Amino acid sequence: MDLQSLKKQEHQRRIRKGFMWAFFCAILWGLWYIPGTVVWVLNPFDEMYGEIAATNGDSTSLVITAVLITAFNALTVIMALMVWNGALGKFGEMKRTIMEFKPCSRWFFLASIFGGPIAILGSFISMGFVGGAFAAVAALMYPVVGSILASKWYGEKISKRAFVGIAFIIIGGITIFGGGLLTELGNGNIVWIGYIGGLMAAVGWGIEGAIAGKGLDIAEPDVGLTLRFVGENIIWWIIAIPLLAIAGFPMIKYALLVFEPLTMLLLIFAGITFGFCYVTWYKSFPLIGVGRGQGIGNLYGLFAVVFIALFFGDIPSWTILVGGALCLIGSSVMFSEDAGQLESLRGE
Amino acid sequence: MVQTQAAMEAYNAYWVNSPVPAAEVMWMVVVLIVAILALWQARTFVSQF
């Protein structure tokens, strides 16, 4: 076999692995919606919600409770990522990446701002105000933001086929938002903050992907993602929660009450699903590009609907099904792209 | 903090309509299987690339 054939074979292997990681991300992300939905009804979060709602109203209470849940989610994600990095022997690499703040770590800390306080919190808000199935599919628009940014910022190539995939995802997203809104209007019960939460998730994750793509030019995805969650933990535990406690919300009281076996079990499983889905998402970017990685990762919407139907027995409404199907078609169009088209991910 | 009766009722209500037997445990089994599979693939990936 000549050098050219070997190079081509190696390239095809990398592409296959890239799609495999994005697929793992989709399954694990879909599974995350099970603990992510159920944890809301358990204590201390249930009582926390009730206490804050009594004095500050339902909307404020939901956002504040979401902050505490998201903070614990970030904490258990770090635990899961330590297991991941330990199993892969990456602790030495982690130390090296932390030391190189300017070229490496700063990108991941920046990514944590968009992924954490904006995207994850937004997802929790939409989950609480509208529902698990809606939250799962509402953020499906994020590859549009991610691929456009990656293209404009560092010239990631977006082929015609990828554009078609993105168009399907936009139409699917409009179907999801529009259909849900029409149903709410019909009921006379419009929960705007739930839709804003969905939008926050789409924009936040899209921007995060583009930033991470830049950082992953010179850093390992496993380590980079761990640093991104270190950044998110700092945002929640050093900045947001103390500030909310100073503002008079019972953050510390309920944070200390979280050590209940069932609640801890759910938070640990949320950490495993979310941590592993995120690390596989990051692993796909250097192999197939941010746009495609996010596009295939987008299948999480479908998996979430499937897992929610399987384990909760909830049958999603037809608009969510149609929107989800369109997004799935868009992702499949990207997936079926010829490997030769992906030989160079950057335009230069 | 111990779970209240209301919290446990709400928790159990999630699994009542599931077509999967013992759904409250099965979803965790599915998570563990997928997570172990991903970790195994990651170790293989490290040795190959």
Asked if the bond preceding A286 is cis, omega within 30° of 0, the reply is no
Between B3, B7, B45, which is nearest A17 by CB?
A: B45
Cα-Cα-Cα-Cα dihedral of A78, A84, A87, A92, to 10°?
Answer: -60
The C-alpha R_g of chain B, in whole angstroms, comes to: 17
Whether A171 is in a domain gets the answer yes
Whether A11 is in a domain gets the answer no
Cβ count within 10 A of residue A140: 31
Whether A254 is in a domain gets the answer yes
- What would the 3-class secondary structure string for A135-156 be? HHHHHHHHHHHHHHHHHHHHCE
* DSSP 8-state code for residue A343: S
Predicted complex ipTM? 0.94
Structurally, chain A folds into a number of domains equal to 1
Q: What is the pTM of this model?
A: 0.87
Query: Is the pLDDT assigned to residue B2 strictly greater than 80?
Result: no
Whether A101 is in a domain gets the answer yes
Whether A46 is in a domain gets the answer yes
Mutate to test the interface with A, among B9, B25, B31 (most CBs of A within 10 A): B31
Position A331, amino acid:
S
Q: Which residues of A touch B38 (CB under 8 A)?
A: 24, 28, 276, 280
Q: Which domain holds residue A322?
A: 20-338
* Chain B: residues touching A (Cβ < 8 Å): 1-4, 6-7, 10-11, 14-20, 23, 26-28, 30-32, 34-35, 37-39, 41-43, 45-46, 48-49
Per-residue pLDDT of chain A (348 residues; tens, 9 = 90+): 678 888 778 778 888 888 899 999 999 999 998 999 899 999 899 999 999 999 988 878 888 998 999 899 999 999 999 999 999 998 888 888 887 777 777 888 888 899 888 887 787 787 777 766 667 667 777 887 888 888 888 777 777 887 788 778 778 777 766 666 566 556 656 577 778 888 898 899 889 888 888 888 888 889 888 988 999 999 999 999 999 999 999 999 999 999 999 999 999 999 999 999 999 988 998 888 887 888 888 788 778 888 988 999 877 777 778 888 888 888 788 777 765 665 555 554
Contact by Cβ (8 Å): A307, A33 = yes
Contacts of residue A174, Cβ cutoff 8 Å, sequence gap at least 6: A323
Whether A1 is in a domain gets the answer no
φ/ψ (deg, to 5) at A345 = -80, -20
φ/ψ (deg, to 5) at A21 = -65, -40
Bigger pLDDT: B40 or A92? B40
Strand, coil or helix: A158: coil
Whether A211 is in a domain gets the answer yes
Cβ count within 10 A of residue A181: 15
B38, containing H or E segment = helix B23-48
Give the pLDDT confidence score for residue A348 in this predicted structure: 47
Question: Distance between the two ends of chain A, CA-based, in angstroms?
Answer: 29
φ/ψ (deg, to 5) at A346 = -105, 150
Whether A39 is in a domain gets the answer yes
